[in-house]
Structure 1
């Protein structure tokens, strides 16, 4: 998400000569970079929100067509979505862990930051693997993309969410590598904070998708009527 320009090993410090580790950046420069990164993240999340809003409107509109077969019928996969509840738990734990890392970084607690940040990535990976498992179950039960418009939207919405989470894991990995290279915590606290904010956003977005995907046709009809789509 944000790119820190760090000087690696054998960097030259005018005051101390050549050093063996990353150069500590001035607090003013760190604060400026953090502000720029936060603005960039907010713009990105605004774009993502707009994208999902359009897809959700299309979802509601398409659900009013006669060939729509709800996935919440008694024998359908989402009649008892315990797999999705489990995946929601992983994402919630990841968000909590990263928030803990964020708070620890503010206090300068390196060990607690390491643990929280690492757990956030582990739980996020568990969520992605859990979603792949759900997709595999859908295919095994015959709920493929082309058999039902509701199936298509399920794969589309959960796939887009998973793709954005994978993008977050890329940013998480970049920061984790810097932790391994012992970059000063002061220079990484903003990255930890941005990861936490992004995970909170993905958790909120997932809760919205989960609620919508597991709703009844009557709920879709009420939303469509409210939005003037029927």
Structure 2
């Protein structure tokens, strides 16, 4: 169990490092493609540093929850709960939202406002689908009698999915602001910066969810909250 937790921690660190490298390095290379975006470059470091500070705090929160879960898992009364089939589809929704955000950045760097709007619309729709799917999973558990106080496994399932869902909702607030700017015809520099920040956040949400998904269903790592029995 400890080896599995260390593996997940190292995997998350690697993903965060890759995202930071992509975010802080790649946008500067795209400067040649859209020269008029130079006016927005000076504001990038402060905004991106603020985002990464927030992501660091959020990562610490999830690591603390995972550590508490690891300690609780060692007790003899731990009993996994059935696995919802819908979790895999929800993962696909969030992955699609992350890819759509990356497409939005690609379009924004080329001042392609049409594809920026399409990318934002797709990412928002898929993110709402992810949240709706998570609520359906909660409803399935509630209907089957797996309530918050039923067991430690159900408590951690609700905790992990609720905290992650709140982070997705927070991201959708920023997404709504960027979408409003795009439909109002904001200049390419502001759309580029805003879309890059949103994309970084969505990639982070996906990375965290992949690790949480492993905690939920990975019997091989010895960390599974859910058993192989389908709900």
**What TM-score do the two structures reach when normalised by structure 2?**
0.78
Match of 2:187 in 1: 184
Task: Give the whole-Å Cα distance in 2 for the aligned partners of 1:202 and 1:219.
Answer: 23
For structure 1, list consecutive stretches of 5 or more residues without a partner in the other structure: 1-25, 222-230
Q: Report the 3-state secondary structure (helix = DSSP H, G, I; strand = E; otherwise coil) of the residue aligned with 1:219.
A: coil
The higher-RCO structure (CA 8 Å, 6+ apart) is 2
User: What are the residue-to-residue correspondences of 1:82-101 with 2, within 5 Å?
Assistant: 82-101=85-104
Moved over 2 A (4+): 26-29, 215-218
Cα deviation, residue 186, structure 1: 2.0
Which has the greater radius of gyration? 1
Cα deviation, residue 110, structure 1: 1.3
Deviation string 1:155-183 (CA, Å, 9 cap, x unpaired) is 00010000000000000001111112211
Task: Give the whole-Å Cα distance in 1 for the aligned partners of 2:75 and 2:141.
Answer: 22
Cα deviation, residue 217, structure 1: 8.9
Match of 2:51 in 1: 41
Contact 2:108 2:192 in 1 (8 A): yes
Contact 1:70 1:217 in 2 (8 A): no
Task: Give the whole-Å Cα distance in 2 for the aligned partners of 1:134 and 1:27.
Answer: 43
Cα deviation, residue 215, structure 1: 2.6
Contact 1:101 1:192 in 2 (8 A): yes
Deviation string 1:31-74 (CA, Å, 9 cap, x unpaired) is 12222111111110010111100100111110111221112xxx
Contact 1:87 1:131 in 2 (8 A): yes
Cα deviation, residue 28, structure 1: 5.7
1:171 and 2:174 equivalent?
Answer: yes
1:63 pairs with 70, 73, 85, which one?
A: 73
Contact 1:168 1:198 in 2 (8 A): yes
Q: Report the 3-state secondary structure (helix = DSSP H, G, I; strand = E; otherwise coil) of the residue aligned with 1:60.
A: helix
User: What are the residue-to-residue correspondences of 1:1-230 with 2, within 5 Å?
Assistant: 30-71=40-81, 76=82, 78=83, 81-216=84-219, 219-220=222-223
Contact 2:101 2:120 in 1 (8 A): yes
Task: Give the whole-Å Cα distance in 2 for the aligned partners of 1:35 and 1:28.
Answer: 13
Task: Give the whole-Å Cα distance in 2 for the aligned partners of 1:159 and 1:69.
Answer: 20
Task: Give the whole-Å Cα distance in 2 for the aligned partners of 1:217 and 1:184.
Answer: 49
Contact 2:38 2:189 in 1 (8 A): no
**How many correspondences in the alignment?**
189
Contact 1:70 1:216 in 2 (8 A): no
For structure 2, list consecutive stretches of 5 or more residues without a partner in the other structure: 1-35, 225-231
* RMSD value, Cα: 1.7
